[in-house]
């Protein structure tokens, strides 16, 4: 019956049908437009990402040939068991002939062989040891109680050296005396110079002066700790270096103090390249035989210039273990297991067992290290093993690293093609539909630029030089972009004509230069893509707001319709009740 529609279920169905029809008619078209805008926004976002990647590698390729991937060098050695090499872009293409007759070694001195448990007498107190190589000096104190054994004396010496830090102490001055002056001094920490300025115009006590200087050093120089040392009525400045491997220089000489604070009449400071003893020499205690002990001293750095120079400055700790002043001065070599002495002979800078010795292009070369980085600009030679008379000379060649250059170019082509096909594939209409970039002037302009650069002639190139990518084995395909069609031709061009290959990419009108400039106009906050995306975002927001307001109106109309149906339902119910009454009366 017709009035079945006025049941609660029927009314709900009528209202829902109304809402569904209105949504389909008024909101679905809006959502379709939003979906289209969102798809375009996503596509432009994807293209922007690809363009930024292309821009990044184009930036690298447009660099000058002397400072770019094309300057990359590689090395080869005829026998890597003896010599290897690495080269930077600054290296020249060259060939070197080499022989290794001696490797650089770290100087070593060992103590006498002593009974480990032997009792020690007359050694209580502080023993100061001094160490020096060609560049650095350092010292360390060893405190003994007199109750040690031979082995524990050696262990205390070893621990004190290996755990030492460089500590610079200025001269001691009366704390209440007045200093007046201005200037600045240099604190050199491992080659990094730090200027410490001071101004005590009007005068301050030395206690105040040192407090101020310590604060300045701690605030300005990382890796050191400065503090005031109080000794009765006197004060001094102490600067401790955190790293064992770093040196410190603070001196009043060579005009490193523009004032007078460090001179002999004030803080009296003249310390040059002070290093922790453990940064100059490393030590170890070992047992060459059961019940016996020895201590070894090994130079941290190799070579003749870093040979061991050590002494007892107070006390007799070195002398106690057999390293007497005469032995240390004469550098007595005692290779047996019993006596103290040096392991290697050092009679002069030329007659020594510590330096590496190499015949380099017919010239005898000595080095403190087995790593030679000053023989040829941009080339580091690494010595691995000593050669015998029957070993052939080693040929080390430096040449352009064609492999890495090709890798860089191919990476550029990959990013170029990713951008090109992203535009090309969306600029066509096929069975799947109309591409999102069809008819878009921005996409069309960019595609045209990519095509022109990829297949066109590079203008401004000297006559006879490479001016097309196709001349280096890179060809253009309208569907897929650029590809290396002739790897041999590309390798040959990189190896034999690197400057011309560079010009193809990095000259004023080079491929990378043009693309970098063009892509810059499309990307970035003010680029064309940013403006397009901003417009799409505006449209999406407008349509979304319109969907919301339309849905509100549909919901309101549905509510009014539901109220109308409810009133009809009530009226029908009243009529049905009256009908039942009349029927009962008639019966």
Cα–Cα distance measured from residue 379 to residue 357, given in angstroms and rounded to the nearest whole number: 18
Six-digit token pair at 561? 């319709």
Which structural domain range is residue 575 located in? 2-32+531-579
Which of 9-13, 127-131, 554-558 is the most confident on average?
Answer: 127-131
The closest alpha carbon to 128, from 149, 143, 111, belongs to: 143
Beta carbons of 85 and 97 less than 8 angstroms apart: no
Classify residue 466: in a domain, yes or no. yes
Q: Tell me the longest C-alpha to C-alpha distance in the chain.
A: 148
Supply φ then ψ for residue 30, to 5 degrees: -65, -45
- Whole-prediction pTM value? 0.71
Six-digit token pair at 531? 């403006």
pLDDT tens, position by position, 108-166: 999 999 999 999 989 999 999 999 988 899 999 999 999 999 999 999 999 999 999 99
Say yes or no: 296 and 258 in one domain.
no
Classify residue 334: in a domain, yes or no. yes
Neighbouring residues of 110: CB distance < 8 A, sequence distance ≥ 6? 294, 295, 296, 297, 334, 340, 341, 343
Six-digit token pair at 161? 């050296």
Determine the pLDDT at residue 527. 86
Supply φ then ψ for residue 168, to 5 degrees: -100, 125
Cα–Cα distance measured from residue 580 to residue 30, given in angstroms and rounded to the nearest whole number: 51
The CATH number for 147's domain is 3.30.70
Indicate the range of 10-14, 180-184, 344-348, 551-555 predicted with least confidence: 10-14
In the chain, how many domains are there? 5
Q: What is the mean pLDDT of residues 18-45?
A: 88
pLDDT tens, position by position, 450-474: 999 999 999 999 999 999 999 999 9
* Domain end residue (candidates: 222, 239, 273): 273
Secondary structure (DSSP) of 399-423? EE-HHHHHHHHHHHHHHHHHHHHHH
Say yes or no: 300 and 328 in one domain.
yes
Cα–Cα distance measured from residue 338 to residue 380, given in angstroms and rounded to the nearest whole number: 41
Instruction: Enumerate the β-bridge partners of residue 189.
Output: 192, 248
Say yes or no: 179 and 154 in one domain.
no
Percent of the chain with pLDDT over 90: 66
Classify residue 61: in a domain, yes or no. yes
Determine the pLDDT at residue 99. 98
Determine the pLDDT at residue 498. 84
Instruction: Enumerate the β-bridge partners of residue 366.
Output: 357
Neighbouring residues of 115: CB distance < 8 A, sequence distance ≥ 6? 150, 291, 292, 293
Using DSSP, state whether 309 is helix, strand or coil.
strand
Say yes or no: 410 and 518 in one domain.
yes
Classify residue 585: in a domain, yes or no. no
Beta carbons of 321 and 111 less than 8 angstroms apart: yes
Supply φ then ψ for residue 144, to 5 degrees: -115, 145
Say yes or no: 415 and 473 in one domain.
yes
Classify residue 347: in a domain, yes or no. no
* Domain end residue (candidates: 230, 247, 273): 273
Instruction: Enumerate the β-bridge partners of residue 270.
Output: 251
Determine the pLDDT at residue 23. 85
Say yes or no: 60 and 97 in one domain.
no
Classify residue 587: in a domain, yes or no. no
Classify residue 290: in a domain, yes or no. yes
The number of angstroms, rounded, from the C-alpha of 395 to the middle of its chain's C-alpha atoms is 33
List of long-range contacts for 139-146, beta carbons under 8 Å, 24+ apart: 139/277, 139/313, 140/164, 140/276, 140/277, 140/278, 142/315, 142/317, 144/120, 144/317, 146/120, 146/121, 146/122
Beta carbons of 238 and 219 less than 8 angstroms apart: no
Neighbouring residues of 390: CB distance < 8 A, sequence distance ≥ 6? none
The closest alpha carbon to 141, from 399, 317, 341, belongs to: 317
* Between residues 438 and 238, the one the model is more confident about: 238
Say yes or no: 139 and 203 in one domain.
no
pLDDT tens, position by position, 215-259: 999 999 999 999 999 999 999 999 999 999 999 999 987 678 889
Cα–Cα distance measured from residue 37 to residue 45, given in angstroms and rounded to the nearest whole number: 12
Is the predicted pLDDT of residue 360 greater than 90, yes or no? yes
The angle formed by the CA atoms of residues 190, 195 and 196, to the nearest 5 degrees, is 115
The closest alpha carbon to 301, from 279, 329, 323, belongs to: 279
Cα–Cα distance measured from residue 510 to residue 289, given in angstroms and rounded to the nearest whole number: 74
* Domain end residue (candidates: 273, 289, 320): 273
Mean pLDDT of the chain: 91
Say yes or no: 269 and 190 in one domain.
yes
> With 0-12 CB in 10 A as exposed, 13-18 as middle and 19+ as buried, what is 194?
middle
Say yes or no: 368 and 391 in one domain.
yes
Say yes or no: 282 and 145 in one domain.
yes
Query: What is the number of other CB atoms lying within 10 angstroms of the CB of residue 345?
Result: 12
Say yes or no: 386 and 486 in one domain.
no
Say yes or no: 153 and 291 in one domain.
yes
Beta carbons of 540 and 38 less than 8 angstroms apart: yes
Classify residue 215: in a domain, yes or no. yes
Determine the pLDDT at residue 6. 64
Cα–Cα distance measured from residue 154 to residue 318, given in angstroms and rounded to the nearest whole number: 9
């Amino acid at each position: 019956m017709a009035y079945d529609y006025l049941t609660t279920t029927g009314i709900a169905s009528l209202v829902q049908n109304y809402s569904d029809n209105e949504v389909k008619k008024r909101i679905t078209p809006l959502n379709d437009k939003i979906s289209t805008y969102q798809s375009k926004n996503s596509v432009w976002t994807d293209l922007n990402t690809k363009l930024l990647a292309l821009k990044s590698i184009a930036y690298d390729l447009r660099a000058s040939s002397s400072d770019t991937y094309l300057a990359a060098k590689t090395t080869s050695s005829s026998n890597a068991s003896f010599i290897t090499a690495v080269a930077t872009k600054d290296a020249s293409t060259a060939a070197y002939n080499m022989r290794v007759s001696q490797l650089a070694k770290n100087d070593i001195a060992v103590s006498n062989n002593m009974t480990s448990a032997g009792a020690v007498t007359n050694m209580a107190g502080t023993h100061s040891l001094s160490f020096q190589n060609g560049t650095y000096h350092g010292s360390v104190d060893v405190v003994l109680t007199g109750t040690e054994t031979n082995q524990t004396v050696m262990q205390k010496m070893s621990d004190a050296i290996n755990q030492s830090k460089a500590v610079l102490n200025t001269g001691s001055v009366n704390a209440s005396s007045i200093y007046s002056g201005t200037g600045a001094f240099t604190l050199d920490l491992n080659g990094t110079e730090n200027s410490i300025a001071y101004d005590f115009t009007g005068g301050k006590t030395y206690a105040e002066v040192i407090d101020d200087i310590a604060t300045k050093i701690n605030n300005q120089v990382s890796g050191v700790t400065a503090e005031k040392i109080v000794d009765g009525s006197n004060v001094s400045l102490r600067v401790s270096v955190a790293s064992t491997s770093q040196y410190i220089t603070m001196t009043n000489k060579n005009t490193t103090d523009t004032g007078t604070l460090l001179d002999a009449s004030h803080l009296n400071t003249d310390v040059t390249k002070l290093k922790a003893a453990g940064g100059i020499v490393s030590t170890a205690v070992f047992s060459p035989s059961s019940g016996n002990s020895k201590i070894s001293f090994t130079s941290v750095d190799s070579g003749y210039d870093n040979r061991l120079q050590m002494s007892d400055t107070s006390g007799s700790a070195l002398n106690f273990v057999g390293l007497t002043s005469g032995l240390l001065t004469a550098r007595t070599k005692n290779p047996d297991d019993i006596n103290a002495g040096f392991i290697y002979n050092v009679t002069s800078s030329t007659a020594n067992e510590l330096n590496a010795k190499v015949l380099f292009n017919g010239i005898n070369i000595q080095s403190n290290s087995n790593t030679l980085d000053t023989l040829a600009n941009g080339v580091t030679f690494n010595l691995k093993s000593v050669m015998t008379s029957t070993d052939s000379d080693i040929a080390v060649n430096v040449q352009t690293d064609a492999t890495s250059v090709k890798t860089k170019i191919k990476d550029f082509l990959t990013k170029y093609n990713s951008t090109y096909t992203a535009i090309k594939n969306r600029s066509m209409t096929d069975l799947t539909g109309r591409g999102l970039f069809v008819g878009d002037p921005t996409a069309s302009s960019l595609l045209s630029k990519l095509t022109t650069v990829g297949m066109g002639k590079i203008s401004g190139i000297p006559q006879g030089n490479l001016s097309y990518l196709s001349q280096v084995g890179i060809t253009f395909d309208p569907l897929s972009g650029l590809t290396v069609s002739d790897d041999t031709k590309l390798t040959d061009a990189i190896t034999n004509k690197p400057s011309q290959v560079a010009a193809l990419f990095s000259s004023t009108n080079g491929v990378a230069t043009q693309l970098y400039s063009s892509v810059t106009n499309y990307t970035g906050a003010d680029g064309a893509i940013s403006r397009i995306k901003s417009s799409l975002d505006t449209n999406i927001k407008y349509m979304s707001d319109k969907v919301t307001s339309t849905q509100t109106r549909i919901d309101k109309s549905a509510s009014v319709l539901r109220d109308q149906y409810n009133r009809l339902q009530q009226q029908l119910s009243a009529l049905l009740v009256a009908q039942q009454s009349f029927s009962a009366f008639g019966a």
